[in-house]
Amino acid sequence: MARDLDPPGAAADSRPTPGRGRWAALAVLCASLLLVAMDATILNVALPSLIDDMRPTAVEQLWIIDIYGLVLGGLLVTSGAVSDRLGRKRLFLTGFVLFGLASVVAATAADPWQLIAGRVLLGIGGAMVMPSTLSLIRNVFTDPRERALAIGIWAAVAGAGAAVGPLVGGLLVESSGWSAAFWVNVPVVVVTVVAGVRLLPEFRSGVKGPLDWPGAALSVVGVIALAWGIKHVAKGSLAVGDLAILALGIVLLVVFARRQLTLDDPLLDVRLFTNRAFTAAALATFLAMLAIGAALFLMSLWLQYVHGYSPFGAGLRTLPAAGAMLAGSLLSPLLMERFGVRAVMALGLGGLIAGFLLLALSAGPTPYGVVAVVFVALGLGDGLAITAAASVLVSTVPAARAGQAGAVSETSYELGIGLGVALLGSIHGSVYAAHMEGRTAQARESVGGAVEAADRLGGAAGERLMVAARAAFESALTTTAYVSAGIVTVVALLVVWLVPRGLRASGGH
């Protein structure tokens, strides 16, 4: 007999949204989610154009790409607790307005650091939006089967948004320049906020006590310090300062967890992680997104620099990932009902492993046909695994704690993407630089730098440099694919060990 993930009284404070209203509310939430998810990857194909315009350093390039996810991930726990207290609709709408204003700051950036500041503000706004989307779904959809379907749609939109970000970014870059990747947010924000005011219900947990601001500071600074330390150590830095920041991040997060255990109303009830299925779902989301987030970033660059596609052409060729992710997310609720959570999560993670191994074992230069199959395997695996994990995270907590569950889910998702780009991107950069030993510093720094150096050299010398740079990029991509396959294999083993057999995400048997 299957076990129901919903604890008794889980929906005690929920007020069902009648008729079609709940599906209209889901449409509003998904529209906002699509935009926030797209912003995690929309700059992947815009980066070469942005590099030509702003001339950011390699470090600035990484910060431009991943600061959004790191800030968002660092603030999600606090935002989830605030939404439980002040109201999920209120925080959602406030965050989305900030998201629109931040888009204007980024779109008008005149230098790399203004763009990075804009991305920081986008991360803050996104952190206010993301937990509210999943927690409102938890409250609006009180029927477990309907909720599983709604979460499947939610996950499909989140995954598709991340996957089509490169396509939309490529189209906008070619037609209007890289700033259009931010301007496109503004009209969507306006329409969604107006619709949200009318269609979204309000939910609060009923908690009246003050927010744990010291705990909030510990979680935010701890996550950012941890991410900074991992980023620099992964690049080979053993500087005392970088190691100290890494250690500081670990210590602050340990202190945060211990503090939460002493509070009657914690920002994050860390006892949730004593539930094996909850822990497995959070780990699966984090580590799977760590691997696939870096893969989408690196493969977007690879399509442009190694294969020579335009930004739009590169984005178009990532569509198999979006389609497969959509299919996997929508199939996941049906498969979970029939085969259970553990089987679906393991199947999805197996798809990711297969995709990474196919990429790693393909003889270079890898043809696009093989890459398309890799995209399908990664997209399908991600859709299945992440949807199943989200269903577990949301269904294992009472409705009053839905904001915390949403925060854990989104923190795992966004921090996984951000750290994936930082960690695996740094590993890729180190391997690339090692293969380019003896070349100029600019050519060793990145494949974009090699393109600029080759353009200056011109002729046969420039072509030889580009041949070496493409080969170095391919070799580094192979290494990161093997590392990613290893990471996901560990996740799959943890899922099989931690998730009970026969567990389902609804009350079905």
Tens of pLDDT, residues 169-193: 777 877 788 888 889 889 989 998 9
- Indicate if 170 and 54 belong to the same structural domain: yes
CATH number at residue 397: 1.20.1250.20
User: Given 221, 247, 262, which residue is the final one in a domain?
Assistant: 262
Q: Which residue has the higher pLDDT, 441 or 506?
A: 441
Q: Specify the amino acid at residue 75.
A: L
In the prediction, which pLDDT does 101 show?
A: 94
Q: Dump pLDDT digits (tens) for 66-114.
A: 787 778 777 888 887 787 777 888 888 999 999 999 999 998 988 888 9
- Indicate if 253 and 356 belong to the same structural domain: no
Question: Quick one: which of 82, 173, 198 has its CA closest to 132?
Answer: 82
Q: Dump pLDDT digits (tens) for 263-275.
A: 887 888 888 888 8
Calculate what percentage of the chain has a pLDDT beyond 90.
14
Helix axes 88-107, 112-140, angle to 10 degrees: 160
In the prediction, which pLDDT does 7 show?
A: 41
Which letter does DSSP use for residue 272 in this model?
A: G
Residue 158 in this model has a pLDDT that exceeds 90: no
Q: Dump pLDDT digits (tens) for 452-478.
A: 888 888 888 888 888 888 888 888 888
In the prediction, which pLDDT does 205 show?
A: 67
Which structural domain range is residue 353 located in? 15-212+263-504
Q: Is residue 367 assigned to a domain?
A: yes
Question: Quick one: which of 488, 393, 497, 444 has its CA closest to 80?
Answer: 393
Q: Cis peptide before 365, with omega less than 30 degrees from 0?
A: yes
In the prediction, which pLDDT does 207 show?
A: 63
- 202-234 burial, b at 16+ Cβ within 10 Å, e below that, comes to ebbbeeeeebbeebbebbbbbbbbbbbbbbbbb
- Indicate if 103 and 26 belong to the same structural domain: yes
- Indicate if 146 and 246 belong to the same structural domain: no
Number of domains in the chain: 2
- Indicate if 340 and 449 belong to the same structural domain: yes
- Indicate if 250 and 101 belong to the same structural domain: no
* Mean pLDDT score across all residues of the chain: 81
Q: Dump pLDDT digits (tens) for 162-171.
A: 667 777 777 7
Q: Which residues contact 252 (CB under 8 A, 6 or more apart)?
A: 218, 219, 221, 222, 225
Q: Is residue 1 assigned to a domain?
A: no
- Indicate if 79 and 97 belong to the same structural domain: yes
Q: Which residues contact 420 (CB under 8 A, 6 or more apart)?
A: 289, 290, 291, 292, 293, 294, 295, 297
Q: Which residues contact 331 (CB under 8 A, 6 or more apart)?
A: 383, 384
- Indicate if 298 and 155 belong to the same structural domain: yes
Q: Is residue 430 assigned to a domain?
A: yes
- Indicate if 226 and 207 belong to the same structural domain: no
In the prediction, which pLDDT does 14 show?
A: 43
Calculate what percentage of the chain has a pLDDT beyond 70.
89
Q: Which range has the top average pLDDT, 21-30, 127-136, 186-195?
A: 186-195
In the prediction, which pLDDT does 144 show?
A: 74
- Indicate if 238 and 176 belong to the same structural domain: no
User: Given 262, 277, 292, which residue is the final one in a domain?
Assistant: 262
- Indicate if 168 and 116 belong to the same structural domain: yes
Main-chain phi, psi angles of 3, to 5 degrees = -95, 135
Question: How far is it, in rounded angstroms, from Cα 278 to Cα 93?
Answer: 28
In the prediction, which pLDDT does 489 show?
A: 93
Q: Dump pLDDT digits (tens) for 473-496.
A: 888 888 999 999 998 999 899 888
Confidence of residue 251 (pLDDT cuts 50, 70, 90): very high
Q: Dump pLDDT digits (tens) for 331-380.
A: 888 888 888 888 899 999 999 999 999 988 886 677 888 889 999 999 89
- Indicate if 268 and 390 belong to the same structural domain: yes
- pTM for the predicted model, two decimal places: 0.76
Q: Is residue 415 assigned to a domain?
A: yes
